[in-house]
Amino acid sequence: MSWIKTIPAAALAGEGVACAEAGGHRIALYDVDGAYYATADICTHGRAFLSDGYLDGHLIECPLHQGLFDVRTGAPAGAPCTVAVRSFPVKLEDGMLYVEAG
Ligand code: FES
């Protein structure tokens, strides 16, 4: 596992969510009032990208069937999602977001 540089934190302004590639994973990055989180971008329920969804507080709503995940842990938080998405550690350095992924 190592820290991988992804995208500027500023890229999350507005929607609060964006996608990035890190360590061979497609990752969704989230900004919840200045706290940063990362999860796998692909929903565990179907083939949809969470980074295309709607972020409301700590919850990301999948754009396909409106399932919910807690971006802090990846835990499912609303039907039809029942399986967690993987979450990744994130750190901010010099305006860039780093994800620990391998
Ligand atoms: Fe995400 Fe169905 S694909 S809730």
Q: Minimal CA–CA distance to 69: which of 36, 33, 102, 30?
A: 30
Cβ neighbours for 56, distance < 8 A, ≥ 6 positions apart: none
pLDDT score for 1: 72
Sign of CA dihedral 64, 65, 71, 75: negative
CATH number at residue 30: 2.102.10.10
**Residue 39 is part of which domain span?**
2-101
How does pLDDT run across 71-95, given as a tens digit for each residue? 999 999 999 999 999 999 999 999 9
CA distance 39 to 90: 10
ipTM associated with this complex: 0.99
For a pocket test of ligand 1, which of 64, 69, 82 has the largest count of ligand atoms closer than 8 A to its C-beta? 64
Q: Ligand 1 center to residue 78 CA distance, Å?
A: 10
Number of domains observed in the structure of the chain: 1
The H or E element containing residue 85 is none
